[in-house]
Structure 1
Amino acid sequence: MQILILIITVLLFSCDDGFNKYEVYGNALGTTYSVNYYAQQDQNIKPKFDSIFQVINLSLSTYITNSDISKLNSGIQAEVDNHFKNVFKAAKIIHQNTEGYFDPSTGIFVNAYGFGPERYNMEMSPKVIDSLMNFVGFNQFKLDGNHVKTDLDSFYLDFNAIAKGYAVDILSDFLKNNNLQHFFIEVGGEVVAHGQDLENNKIWNFGIETPDENNTSRQLSYAVSIENKALATSGNYRKFKIDSSSGQKYVHTINPKTGEAKKSDVLSASVVAENCMIADAYATAFIAMGFDKAQKTIDKYQISTLLIYVNSDNKVQTFISDDLEGIASPL
């Protein structure tokens, strides 16, 4: 889902003040991750990061059958851990702030359209969509201690649009708790940047990809400079599927109001926030909302956002919130 490309030099080097630059990378949460940090000696953080990813997976991954969320989706009244509760509570707030356009209960549609771990192999007719909508509505879920309660007979929660951002935040907290102050963490395009890029003596700089589903060169359209902030980008132009029988094109972001998987007029949404979990969720919601509703939400809650969208004349335009002027620059 994420479409962020890093403009970072990752060569190991030594600073005059004794700090070295280290790079760690690997696979986790169904995607890749990379970390650059400055320290006086190697912290050997990869095994610790892998342990954190494992714990988060066991809580929130729909691709692991014995995770907390998978147990809930299969009808088991399992206890959930603090990671699950943290994500659930944040999702509730963003669900409310976006008037329901951020809705983790649309997981049943993610599977129905063939984007999730379970593929229902259904013909997505209006009748089928109307039937599945009976199992959607995050407002019908609540936390009761360590349990999730709902009156829905069947459901499929999916926190993939917020869990990667949450994982980045947990990794960031781990580094700061270990006295590392200059780093960036990227998981599947979701980023937290802290301190500065000491090699170049400037704050971290990241690039926003030009939204073009036929663009195999992955060109960049904007650069964003952030310090002690998170950045998440969402778009629908790369991850899609075409039904073999009907030729219908489905994108992976579901409109929770209609159950449809149609292309939005917002091609790309990039959000800068205090933490990556919030940025991740809002970026997804703005794709589903479309430009007009997204702009109103951005203005109401003062969300730092860059939207690349198509206007009524079918021309690609850019909207940049006032607080990102000077931080986001065209390339």
Structure 2
Amino acid sequence: MKNVLLVSCLLLLFSCKEKKADVVRPEPQQFVGNAIGTTYSIKLFADDQINVEKDVDSIITMFNNSMSTWVKGSLINRINAGEDSVLVGKPFKEVFEQAQEVYRKTDGYFDPTVGNLVNAYGFGANGEQEVIPSQKKIDSLKQYVGFYKMSIVPTTVKDSFYIKSDQKGMYLEFNAIAKGTLVDYMARLLDEKGVNDYLVEVGGEVVTKGMNLQRDGKWSIGIDDPKQKHDERVYVTVVELSNKAMAGSGNYRKFKKDPKSGQEFVHTVNPITGKAQPSEVLGVNVIANNCTLADGYATAFMAMPLEKSRELLKNLKDLEVVIMYTDGYGLLRFEVTPGFQSYVKQAGK
């Protein structure tokens, strides 16, 4: 993998194709709403009106009641509370198994059992911490980290499973892949309705299918500049996707400052060290075949050292990745996989 410096704010340099006056392009059907503490947006093209609001609401409710640590009484919260024989369904099993895949392939840098540490830093559903946890506190919580200690076991009830844990006190959370998972569920809904051209987005994570018929091209998605100010929205580049998902992770918007020491700590907790602290990596975007995996890998690459990412990406051929980091002079640099550049939108298109 080699360093490629992408042109900053490339989006501003693009010129749109001139549309011929006699070409009538279809208008998309659009749906927006709130979901898991953020917003969702669906843009689709279909010959007939497609009603998705009720089905989308049902998906969000299912997700919240099953896998959200932010919803009181959810299945995952009951599991974390130590309840015995909590039955979970096929969606929970699917996410659990995809999380296991990312956990294995990233050598544990993506770990859904990091929840106790996330809460200790104040970024989780149960976290109210305002200062950086002591090293003693971190060490005491690290004993509860390790996804290998958990497994999902079938029951005698059809399509029902329970979570087996080798250690009491562990805190399971899927928040690091939650948005990606929800995007995949919504995309699957559109597939079932026979929609062939759509873009689904939840909090910046996307799944695309087919084409954007309004512009007769692929779907264009901007990648945020990790050095933008809090009130800005600046892109470093734009990618064009079709039949692919993309998720991003970054610490440039979500961090806290210790009022005593003034030290900043970020929302990405390293499962290996147990620490949440700034690193050279500022942001990651991952293109994959589904958004759950893209989201999980983006989280992992944020947590691990850049050299470790370079090593692992040699064997992760199904991913295209851009890692944004600062060099020794504080300049923004870009590390990309060989195939990522093929997705970058070219000026004038």
Structure 1 partner of 2:89: 81
Amino acid at match of 2:58: S
Give the unaligned 5+ runs of structure 2: 1-10, 17-21, 155-160
Task: Say if 2:325 is the partner of 1:309.
Answer: yes
User: 1:311, CA displacement in angstroms?
Assistant: 2.5
1:125 Cα shift?
0.8
Q: Does 1:114 align with 2:122?
A: yes
- 2:168 aligned with 1:164: no
**Which moves more between the two structures, 206-215 or 68-77?**
206-215
Q: How does 1:231-310 map to 2 (within 5 A)?
A: 231-302=246-317, 303-310=319-326
Displacement of 1:127 after TM fit?
A: 0.7
The alignment covers a number of residue pairs equal to 320
Letter in 2 for 1:39: A
TM-score, normalisation: structure 1: 0.92
1:67 alignment counterpart:
74
Answer whether contact 2:113 2:171 (CA < 8 A) is retained.
yes
Identity over aligned pairs, percent: 38
Is the contact made by 2:286 and 2:320 (CA closer than 8 Å) also made in structure 1? yes
Counterparts of 2:260 and 2:178, CA distance in 1: 33
Q: Which residue of 2 aligns with 1:134?
A: 143
Amino acid at match of 2:342: G
- 1:51-108 CA distance string (max 9 Å, x none): 1111111111001121110100111121111111111111111101000000011111
34, 44, 51: which one pairs with 1:27?
34
Mapped to 2, the partners of 1:278 and 1:316 lie a distance apart of 26
- Name the CA shift for 1:128/1:330 in 2 (closer, same or farther; >3 Å): farther
Which residue type is aligned with residue 96 of structure 1?
A: R
TM-score, normalising length from structure 2?
A: 0.87
Larger Rg: 2
Aligned counterparts of 1:317 and 1:189: Cα–Cα separation in 2: 22
Corresponding residue for residue 124 of structure 1: 133
State the 1:319 CA deviation: 1.3
SS of the residue 1:105 aligns to: coil
Higher RCO (CA < 8 A, seq sep 6+) = 2
- Alignment partner of 1:135: what SS? coil
Give yes or no for contact 1:20–1:41 (8 Å, CA) kept in 2: no
* Matched residue type, 1:85: K
| Cα drift, residue 49 of structure 1 | 0.5
Give 5+ residue unaligned stretches, structure 1: 1-5, 10-14
1:130-154 CA distances to partner (integer Å, 9 max, x unpaired)?
A: 1111111111111111111112120
- The equivalences for 1:121-200 within 5 A come to 121=129, 124-145=133-154, 146-200=161-215
CA contact (8 A) 2:230 2:253 kept: no
Kept in 2: contact 1:20–1:40 (CA 8 A) = no
What's the offset of the Cα at 1:47?
Answer: 1.4
CA contact 1:20–1:39 (8 Å) conserved in 2: no
| Counterpart contact for 1:59–1:68, Cα < 8 Å | yes
Opposite residue 259 of structure 1, the aligned amino acid is: G
Shift of 1:155: 1.2
Q: Secondary structure at the match of 2:342?
A: coil
